[in-house]
Amino acid sequence: MSDQPLVLPDPDDPRLTVAVEGVDENGAPVTASVVMERPLTLFLNGQEIVTLLTIGDHPEELALGYLLNQNMLLADDDVTGIEYDEELEVVVVRTARVTDYEAKLKKRVQTSGCAQGTLFGDMMERFDEAHLPKDVRLHTADLYPLVKRINTCPSLYLKAGAIHGCALCQGPDLLLYMEDVGRHNAVDKIRGWMFRHGMEGGDKTFYTTGRLTSEMVIKTVQMGIPILVSRSGFTASGVELARRAGLTLVGRSRGRRFTVLSGAGRIVFDAPPLHGGEDEDARFRRKASQGDD
């Protein structure tokens, strides 16, 4: 288990939500907690890179993770400084290496991500160079309680909704949970946090509430993490890339049900199977069909 302290969202942080007055389905007054969405502009040395829409927590980790996942910051780069100006909503990352990404910025294309999600034309540069460890195992006896813990721990999702979450796990242990309006931002925060703390991904499992798309797979592989789990579903390109990289891809993980479409050899089926009763996902489907959510 890591000796790093557990990092969780702070749903009581007044910077992250705002109370908004409205009415409910009966016309009665209600007060709703609504997630904040604010711009954050990233600079790498003297060059403006991108403006992200984010809830505003962990700006330094978000900046580092974004640059790492876009291959603009290298894993062995000497980061000489990170400056965050809350009033200007700007983060400046400074490196010893001279950088110039004007040509690369021209190749940017939109992806399927919520909020801001960009995939550069050469983001695949290091994808095929990654070598994920084959001896790591995901025990179903660890997976079921771990997913339940992630889904029930204090979070902005439970308080206000309209947000995605990502978690970094090691065996049965939850190490880190980040949230943001876009799942790509949540991934980048975790990547940046790992970089700042010198943490490797080879013995970790990554969990996301979002879809298992090509970009989610690419970023997980770039982090060196061999197992990716989601309560949501797959895209064909995500599955194709996961198989190409040897990534274990677990989707539709709810209760004691899941589907593995890549890397099933890492799964150890050591939890008791279902015996006729409804699990969490079955109850959800039944209530949805009855109009009771």
- Provide the CATH number for the domain around residue 235: 3.40.140.10
| pTM recorded for the entire structure | 0.86
Tell me whether residue 176 is in a domain: yes
Residue 189 falls inside a structural domain: yes
Contact 239, 213 (CB under 8 A): no
pLDDT in tens, the chain (293 residues): 445 557 888 888 999 999 999 999 999 999 999 999 999 999 999 899 999 999 999 999 999 999 999 889 998 999 999 999 999 999 999 999 999 887 777 665 444 344 444 454 556 767 888 899 999 999 999 999 999 999 888 888 888 888 899 999 999 999 999 999 988 899 999 999 999 999 999 999 999 999 999 989 999 999 999 999 999 999 999 999 999 999 999 999 998 999 999 999 999 999 987 665 555 555 544 444 444 33
Q: Residue 72 domain-assigned? A: no
223 within a domain of the structure (yes/no): yes
Burial (CB count <10 Å: 0-12, 13-18, 19+), residue 149: middle
Query: What H or E segment, with its residue span, contains residue 118?
Result: strand 118-120
Domain count within the chain? 1
Report if residue 36 sits inside a domain: no
Print the domain residue range for 197: 138-274+281-289
| 247 within a domain of the structure (yes/no) | yes
